[in-house]
Amino acid sequence: MKRINIDNANIDSLIIDEAVSLILKGGIVAMPTETVYGLAVDSANEESLKKLYEMKQRSKDLPVSLALADKNNVTNEYFSVLPPFGYRLIEKFWPGPLTIIYFEKKENKIGMRVPSDPIANRILSKLNKAVFLTSANLSGSREATSGSDVENIFGGKLDLIVDSGSTLYGKPSTIIDLTPNPFKILRAGVIPERDIVDVFIKKRILFVCTGNSCRSPMAQFLLEKYIGEVKPYLHGRHDIISRGVSTASGMSVSTHTADILKQKEGLDASGFASRRIDRQTILSSDLIFTMEDVHTDYILEFEPTAEGRVFGLKKFLPQGFEQDIPDPIGRGISVYEEVYSLIKKAIIELTGWL
């Protein structure tokens, strides 16, 4: 068994290469994470996994989680489509001390982790594949939080200990199972349950138009205002955002939009910056409201699993006013005011519906 000291602030690439090489050859490598030390083996090597179970004295009935360096690889290649809440958890806590259990694409359960520790991340990035990563401890015993702890527990049974000293948190990751509805905390850890509940209850509402400079920001600002005025008890319960299907990021709202919001609603939109819609935003949104049917079609073609969460804003207009919200870009202030009037009617109805 070899134990090598490594500096978080000046990571030696040769040590990273050695750890990667040993894992790929079927070895068991102890490495730091931000929570506790973990034991890593190649996920494609069944013999290494068997040795890992035996060494930890762990029941074969208890699965071992996988770890990757990139959260996008997890959502794109491993997990089936998560509920919107799951994507918001990933957005907030990965990389970090949260292990998520959900269905893989073959509908079996799988546990995944994306550590934030720089050494763990470098090893996983270099491997460019998933590894089985489990706490460095004997099953049911206290987890190792330093390289010396690992050595005391396992002696010479490991191929390598990558030792960066004490871990950041000194306790294990929180484990959440997203397969029950709505979720179940399987292990209390670094992330308190109340922080997970906060993410769950804060529903994301997304408004979509073409350029994200006129209609969708107008709807966003109006809903934020009216929920606060009409339903103050819902304060903090919604994350209200907007995106465009065809826009350059970083654009301000149009001058007419800014003027109307300021003069008619007392709202300051000067800090707004446009953003183009992406898959993560669609998947993480509980409700999506579009300005035109063409935007609905775009979203459902982009991400068919969003069906059932996408609605035309026109559905909230009074009878006789049901129409797509027209694009005012490049037109005069009077057209913008007409669009504002339509959006306001819809937002007032939507506020009552929420």
Q: Which is catalytic among the residues 88, 113, 215, 243? A: 215
Query: Would residue 170 be called left, alpha or beta, if left means φ above 0 and alpha means ψ between -120 and 50 degrees?
Result: left
Task: Name the β-bridge partners of 42.
Answer: 131
How many structural domains compose the chain?
Answer: 2
What pLDDT, in 10s, does the model give residues 111-141? 999 999 999 999 999 999 999 999 999 999 9
Please, are residues 135 and 172 in contact by the beta-carbon 8 Å criterion? yes
Residue 182: its pLDDT value, please? 92
pTM above 0.85, yes or no: yes
What pLDDT, in 10s, does the model give residues 201-248? 999 999 999 999 999 999 999 999 999 999 888 888 999 999 999 988
pLDDT confidence of 321, banded at 50, 70, 90? confident
Please confirm, yes or no, whether 214 is among the known catalytic residues: no
Please, are residues 17 and 24 in contact by the beta-carbon 8 Å criterion? no
Write the CB contacts of 111 (distance below 8 Å, at least 6 apart in sequence). 63, 64, 65, 66, 99, 100, 101, 175
Boundary (domain end) residue, out of 199, 230, 263: 199
Q: Which is catalytic among the residues 239, 309, 327, 331? A: 327
Q: Residue 17 belongs to what domain range?
A: 2-199
Mean pLDDT of the chain, nearest integer: 96
Are 134 and 246 found together in one domain?
A: no
Boundary (domain end) residue, out of 166, 199, 232: 199
Beta strands of the chain (E only): which ranges? 2-5, 29-31, 38-42, 66-67, 98-103, 109-113, 131-135, 160-163, 174-177, 184-187, 203-209, 238-244, 287-290, 310-312
The pLDDT of 317-345, averaged and rounded, is 93
Q: Domain holding 280: CATH number?
A: 3.40.50.2300
Q: Domain holding 114: CATH number?
A: 3.90.870.10
pLDDT of 183 strictly over 90: yes
Q: How far apart are CA 288 and CA 277, in angstroms?
A: 11
Are 193 and 255 found together in one domain?
A: no
Are 127 and 10 found together in one domain?
A: yes
One-letter amino acid of 173: S
Write the CB contacts of 31 (distance below 8 Å, at least 6 apart in sequence). 19, 37, 38, 40, 119, 120, 123, 162
The pLDDT of 180-208, averaged and rounded, is 96
Q: How far apart are CA 219 and CA 265, in angstroms?
A: 12
Boundary (domain end) residue, out of 199, 230, 256: 199
pLDDT confidence of 14, banded at 50, 70, 90? very high
Are 48 and 66 found together in one domain?
A: yes
Are 245 and 339 found together in one domain?
A: yes
Write the CB contacts of 76 (distance below 8 Å, at least 6 apart in sequence). none
Please, are residues 112 and 78 in contact by the beta-carbon 8 Å criterion? yes
Please, are residues 36 and 144 in contact by the beta-carbon 8 Å criterion? yes
Q: Which is catalytic among the residues 149, 209, 214, 243? A: 209
Are 164 and 16 found together in one domain?
A: yes
